[in-house]
């Protein structure tokens, strides 16, 4: 067991936290989560924890928040406003140890060593704890937890316990903790329990198996029932006890589904091969993922660690085998935003998947296909056509943004995003198109992607209203900058709406003989297409006198506040200025026009990009974790590598050091996806062209080189950049074009090009 409990030695591949500081527990727990896109387990202590804990969401922000999440397990608890919540499963890792009948506790006796290591390479959390109890008994414990990347229904916990001196009576209890789950228990047997959700009738099954060796000999449990095991033994002095526990989880999406069968089958798969084989398969699966997705920065170990940390959590948040779930804003690492899905997935996280794990990207987009019904209903309800995606989405695609939240003073504040933050509908279409461009997955386009593009274009065409000035307007929205509500003609929204319609209009030619069927099924006539084209041609896109676009109508008349005078502030600008003054000012919460430059770089020449970036960047408060990565991407493309690197580092700190104080609710998946984009799409300048890829590196001097993997239309490529020189190797797939610094090259299978 010792080998499995030994973390990867290389500091580039691990995160370490030593000591114990209760005030930092909840953000460390998020950061050190293990997840596989189906199960997510926060890094809370499993041993020596009382049954009560404190939640970051409630009165105290410093407590531990042990949680195991199951992707897609949403229920609507009896709360106000009634929105779906990602429900926790049972905490399957609990252990209690008694030494001569005294409970081993962290808070009594002497803490000698505590170290948690997140092994990024092997996808594991390993913990070492040395403690002397008040009676002078010394314990050394090493634990490991993982959820399998090879077989997503399975989790494993290993524990090795050494106790000194000889002759100590040990009582070792392992159990599943159900406190505060909020699910109704249907059955519990020795190795299996089944629960159901109260409102939506979903079901959850968890099966468990555990075993123990003491001094290398199997020990039979003294008691075993209800997913609890109890062993007793007397220590021999220099020996050790070794414990393993499997969990196997099944989710049932309706009251008739049988999750117990799935959980039991998974448990049999794991138990029949044993934990060593489960670990080996998991490690192999992670190796394959790293081979496809690793990014390494030469000369900047901190940047490599930040990118690997980002890639680790991105991989842990996705599941290529489940097209009915997507990634919540905090993945499966915390309760923040209740597990809801935002544009974070399509705009910030998806490029990583599209370029390095297209199977996962496809599943994420299929979630949007499967939630089209909800989007159609939302559009119809508001009096528009086509499909309007929910700003916050859970399992059905219905709008799940709460109508109000309690403000700092405890009074309810209306949340208008659910009704007004409509750019999400263009963001989904954008992601579909980008996936199609990068992967060339025609089957996806035919089966699902085209329908998403057409229904979202149909929505936008109905949403653009032609007015007396002869132009099309989109009134009453919120753009990415949520500090300004009920605004008209947000440039980001209008540009992206027009872009969506234009891509939909490309489809008839693109789909050829498949077009008539699809058009008939969706009742799209030539007359309707002509109306879409007219709407796209008429829509206002950031009226401007010079190169600088207006973020929305009336923007240039707002108060221009120098936010640099508030540098170092501990609170959001909204709290500094107050809601009303902020809304009357130019201060933005996050990248808005800058996000538009990030998404459609080809739509603006370099001078216009520069002018808009220089105008808007100083007005941005970066009060969202999504903001700096977008600024970094644009700055990197503009060649301002010093500024881009500053934004990159500040963004990396958001979860690595909890610099913004928000990691307790989970890591910020959008920021992590953004970091990958800054490195690969920004500094390396990766771009997709009609017949291949292009690289235009603009590395900062602090990064003498970088390496990464990417895919393009079924080809697997390895890229190495040194200074201004790029080298590309075609590992798998047919010959293709690679354009390096503007010059096309022909790359043959197994070959390499460099320039
Ligand atoms: C940001 C949104 C984001 C959401 C979830 C909000 O604070 O303004 O852009 O989608 O958080 O991360």
Atom nearest to 344 CA in ligand 1: 10
Which token pair is 345? 């997935």
- Residue 708 belongs to a domain: no
Q: For residue 625, report the distance from its CA to the centre of ligand 1, in Å.
A: 8
Residues 312 and 272 in one domain: no
Please identify, among 273, 290, 307, the residue that sits at the C-terminal boundary of a domain: 290
Query: Which pLDDT does position 78 carry in this prediction?
Result: 87
Least confident residue range of 5-9, 206-210, 291-295, 443-447: 5-9
Q: What is the mean pLDDT of residues 203-220?
A: 98
Looking up residue 222, the CATH number of its domain turns out to be: 2.70.98.40
Q: What is the mean pLDDT of residues 658-666?
A: 91
Q: What is the mean pLDDT of residues 221-246?
A: 96
Q: Given a cut of 80, is residue 431 above it in pLDDT?
A: yes
- Residue 706 belongs to a domain: no
Q: How far apart are the first and last CA of the chain?
A: 48
Residues 6+ apart with CB under 8 A from 251: 38, 70, 71, 72, 73, 202, 203, 204, 259, 262
Atom 6 of ligand 1: nearest residue by CA position: 624
Looking up residue 551, the CATH number of its domain turns out to be: 1.50.10.10
Residues 511 and 614 in one domain: yes
How do residues 34-77 score in pLDDT, each as one tens digit?
999 999 999 999 998 765 555 544 444 457 888 999 999 999 99
Portion of the chain with pLDDT greater than 70, in percent: 98
Question: What is the distance between the alpha carbons of residues 333 and 331, in angstroms, rounded to a whole number?
Answer: 6
How do residues 325-366 score in pLDDT, each as one tens digit?
999 999 999 999 999 999 999 999 999 999 999 999 999 999
- Residue 702 belongs to a domain: no
- Residue 720 belongs to a domain: no
Residues 391 and 427 in one domain: yes
Query: Which pLDDT does position 21 carry in this prediction?
Result: 84
- Residue 718 belongs to a domain: no
How do residues 407-417 score in pLDDT, each as one tens digit?
878 889 999 99
Q: For residue 669, report the distance from its CA to the centre of ligand 1, in Å.
A: 11
Query: Which pLDDT does position 54 carry in this prediction?
Result: 53
Residues 6+ apart with CB under 8 A from 268: none
Decide: 630 in ligand 1 pocket, CB within 6 A: no
Residues 38 and 185 in one domain: yes
Residues 498 and 570 in one domain: yes
Residues 180 and 311 in one domain: no
Atom nearest to 342 CA in ligand 1: 10
Please identify, among 683, 710, 728, the residue that sits at the C-terminal boundary of a domain: 683
Query: What single-letter DSSP state applies at residue 680?
Result: I
Decide: 342 in ligand 1 pocket, CB within 6 A: yes
Question: What is the distance between the alpha carbons of residues 481 and 413, in angstroms, rounded to a whole number?
Answer: 18
Collapse the DSSP code of 375 into the 3-class scheme (helix H, G, I; strand E, B; otherwise coil) and give the result. helix
Collapse the DSSP code of 521 into the 3-class scheme (helix H, G, I; strand E, B; otherwise coil) and give the result. helix
- Residue 532 belongs to a domain: yes
Query: Which pLDDT does position 58 carry in this prediction?
Result: 46
Q: In a 10 Å sphere around its CB, with 0-12 CB exposed, 13-18 middle and 19+ buried, how is residue 606 labelled?
A: exposed
**Strands annotated E in 304-452:** 404-406, 412-414
Residues 144 and 256 in one domain: yes
Residue with the larger pLDDT of the pair 33 and 52: 33
Atom nearest to 337 CA in ligand 1: 5
Residues 167, 197: contact at Cβ < 8 Å? no
Q: For residue 624, report the distance from its CA to the centre of ligand 1, in Å.
A: 6
Residues 6+ apart with CB under 8 A from 465: 472, 473, 474, 475
Residues 422 and 551 in one domain: yes
Query: Which pLDDT does position 24 carry in this prediction?
Result: 86
**Strands annotated E in 65-123:** 68-75, 85-89, 91-99, 102-103, 110-119
Which token pair is 734? 């047919």
Decide: 626 in ligand 1 pocket, CB within 6 A: yes
Q: What is the mean pLDDT of residues 691-705?
A: 97
Query: Which pLDDT does position 661 carry in this prediction?
Result: 86
Q: What is the mean pLDDT of residues 368-393?
A: 98
Question: What is the distance between the alpha carbons of residues 74 and 186, in angstroms, rounded to a whole number?
Answer: 18
Q: For residue 589, report the distance from its CA to the centre of ligand 1, in Å.
A: 10
Residues 281 and 336 in one domain: no
Decide: 441 in ligand 1 pocket, CB within 6 A: no
Query: Which pLDDT does position 50 carry in this prediction?
Result: 60
Query: Which pLDDT does position 142 carry in this prediction?
Result: 98
Question: What is the distance between the alpha carbons of residues 370 and 378, in angstroms, rounded to a whole number?
Answer: 14
Atom nearest to 670 CA in ligand 1: 12
Residues 357 and 369 in one domain: yes
Residues 272 and 334 in one domain: no
Residues 152, 39: contact at Cβ < 8 Å? yes
- Residue 731 belongs to a domain: no
Atom nearest to 589 CA in ligand 1: 8
Please identify, among 261, 290, 319, the residue that sits at the C-terminal boundary of a domain: 290
Q: Using omega within 30 degrees of 0 as the cis cutoff, is the peptide bond preceding 81 cis? A: yes
Q: Using omega within 30 degrees of 0 as the cis cutoff, is the peptide bond preceding 165 cis? A: yes
Hey, how many other C-beta atoms are within 10 angstroms of the C-beta on 442? 13
Residues 249 and 328 in one domain: no
Q: What is the mean pLDDT of residues 709-727?
A: 96
> Residue 437 is inside which H or E element, if any?
helix 424-439
Q: For residue 572, report the distance from its CA to the centre of ligand 1, in Å.
A: 14
Catalytic residue flag (residue 482)? yes
Count of domains observed in the chain: 2
Burial readout 57-77 (b: 16 or more C-beta within 10 A, e: otherwise): eeeebebbbbbbbbbbbbbbe
Residues 6+ apart with CB under 8 A from 636: 644, 678, 682, 683, 685, 698
Portion of the chain with pLDDT greater than 90, in percent: 90
Query: Which pLDDT does position 430 carry in this prediction?
Result: 99
Domain range for residue 154?
A: 15-290
CA 466 to chain centre: 38
- Catalytic residue, from 482, 485, 553, 559: name it: 482
Question: What is the distance between the alpha carbons of residues 78 and 73, in angstroms, rounded to a whole number?
Answer: 16
Averaged confidence pLDDT in the chain: 95
Selection from 705, 726, 709, 725 nearest residue 717 by Cα: 709
How do residues 256-288 score in pLDDT, each as one tens digit?
999 999 999 999 999 999 999 999 999 999 999
Atom 8 of ligand 1: nearest residue by CA position: 624
Q: For residue 513, report the distance from its CA to the centre of ligand 1, in Å.
A: 41
Q: Given a cut of 80, is residue 314 above it in pLDDT?
A: yes
Enumerate the β-bridge partners of residue 163.
139
Which token pair is 52? 């009560």
Least confident residue range of 12-26, 138-152, 627-641: 12-26
Q: How confident is the model at residue 2 (pLDDT cuts 50, 70, 90)?
A: confident
Atom 12 of ligand 1: nearest residue by CA position: 329
Q: What is the mean pLDDT of residues 367-373?
A: 98
- Residue 734 belongs to a domain: no
Query: What single-letter DSSP state applies at residue 104?
Result: P
Residues 347, 329: contact at Cβ < 8 Å? no
């Amino acid at each position: 067991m010792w080998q499995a409990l030994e973390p990867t030695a290389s500091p580039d591949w691990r995160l370490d936290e030593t000591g114990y500081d209760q005030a930092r527990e909840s953000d460390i727990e998020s950061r050190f989560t293990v997840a596989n896109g189906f199960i997510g387990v926060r890094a809370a202590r499993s041993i020596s924890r009382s049954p009560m804990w404190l939640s970051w969401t409630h009165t105290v922000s410093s407590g531990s928040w042990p949680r195991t999440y199951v992707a897609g397990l949403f229920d609507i608890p009896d709360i106000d406003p009634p929105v779906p919540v990602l429900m926790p499963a049972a905490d399957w890792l609990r252990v209690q140890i008694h030494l001569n009948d005294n409970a081993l506790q962290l808070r009594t006796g002497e803490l000698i060593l505590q170290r948690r290591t997140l092994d990024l390479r092997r996808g594991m959390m390993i913990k070492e704890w040395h403690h002397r109890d008040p009676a002078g008994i010394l314990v050394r414990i090493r634990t490991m937890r993982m959820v399998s990347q090879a077989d997503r229904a399975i989790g494993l916990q290993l524990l090795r316990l050494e106790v000194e001196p000889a002759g100590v009576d040990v009582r070792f209890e392992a159990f599943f903790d159900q406190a505060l789950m909020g699910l109704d228990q249907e059955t519990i047997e020795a190795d299996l329990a089944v629960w159901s959700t109260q409102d939506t009738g979903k079901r959850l099954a968890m099966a468990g198996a555990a075993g123990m060796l003491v001094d290398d000999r199997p020990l039979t449990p003294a008691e075993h029932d209800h997913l609890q095991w109890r062993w007793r033994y007397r220590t021999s002095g220099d020996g050790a006890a070794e414990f393993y526990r499997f969990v196997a989880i099944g989710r049932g999406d309706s009251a008739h589904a049988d999750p117990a069968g799935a959980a039991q089958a998974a448990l049999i798969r794991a138990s029949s091969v044993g934990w060593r084989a489960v670990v080996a398969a998991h490690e192999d699966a992670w190796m394959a993922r790293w081979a496809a997705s690793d990014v390494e920065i030469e000369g900047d170990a901190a940047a490599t660690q930040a990118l690997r940390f980002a890639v680790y959590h991105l991989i842990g948040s996705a599941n290529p085998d489940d097209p009915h779930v997507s990634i919540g804003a905090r993945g499966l690492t915390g309760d923040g935003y209740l597990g809801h899905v935002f544009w974070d997935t399509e705009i910030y996280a998806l490029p990583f998947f599209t370029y390095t794990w297209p199977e996962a990207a496809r599943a994420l987009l299929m979630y949007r296909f499967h939630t089209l019904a909800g989007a159609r209903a939302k559009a119809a309800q508001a009096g528009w056509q086509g499909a309007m995606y929910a700003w916050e989405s859970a399992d059905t695609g219905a709008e799940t943004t709460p109508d109000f939240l309690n403000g700092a003073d405890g009074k309810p504040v209306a949340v208008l995003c659910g009704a007004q933050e409509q750019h999400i509908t263009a963001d989904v279409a954008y992601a579909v198109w980008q996936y199609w461009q990068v992967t060339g997955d025609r089957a996806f386009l035919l089966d699902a992607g085209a329908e998403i593009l057409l229904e979202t274009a149909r929505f936008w065409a109905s949403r653009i209203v032609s007015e007396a000035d002869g132009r099309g307007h989109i009134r009453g929205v919120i753009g990415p900058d949520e500090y300004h509500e009920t605004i008209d003609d947000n440039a980001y929204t209008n540009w992206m709406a027009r872009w969506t319609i234009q891509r939909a209009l490309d489809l008839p030619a693109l789909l050829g003989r498949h077009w008539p069927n699809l058009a008939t099924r969706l009742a799209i006539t030539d007359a309707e297409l002509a109306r879409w084209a007219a709407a796209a041609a008429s829509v206002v896109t950031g009226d401007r006198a010079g190169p600088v676009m207006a973020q929305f109508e009336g923007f240039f008349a707002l108060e221009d506040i120098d936010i640099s005078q508030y540098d170092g502030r501990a609170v959001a600008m909204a709290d500094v200025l107050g809601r009303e003054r902020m809304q009357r000012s130019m201060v933005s919460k996050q990248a808005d026009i800058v996000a538009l430059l990030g998404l459609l770089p080809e739509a603006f020449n370099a001078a216009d990009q520069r002018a808009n970036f220089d105008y808007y960047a100083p007005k941005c408060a970066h009060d969202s974790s999504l903001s700096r990565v977008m600024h970094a991407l644009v700055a990197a493309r503009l060649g301002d590598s010093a500024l881009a690197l500053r934004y990159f580092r500040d963004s990396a700190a958001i979860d690595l050091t909890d610099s913004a104080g928000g990691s307790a609710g989970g890591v910020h998946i959008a920021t992590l996806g953004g970091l990958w984009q800054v490195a690969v799409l920004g500094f390396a300048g990766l771009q997709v062209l009609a017949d291949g890829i292009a690289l235009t590196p603009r590395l900062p001097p602090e990064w003498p080189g970088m390496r990464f993997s990417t895919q393009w239309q079924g080809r697997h490529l390895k890229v190495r950049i040194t200074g201004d020189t790029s080298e590309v190797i075609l590992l798998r797939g047919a010959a293709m074009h690679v354009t390096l610094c503007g010059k096309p090259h022909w790359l043959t299978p197994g070959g390499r090009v460099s320039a």
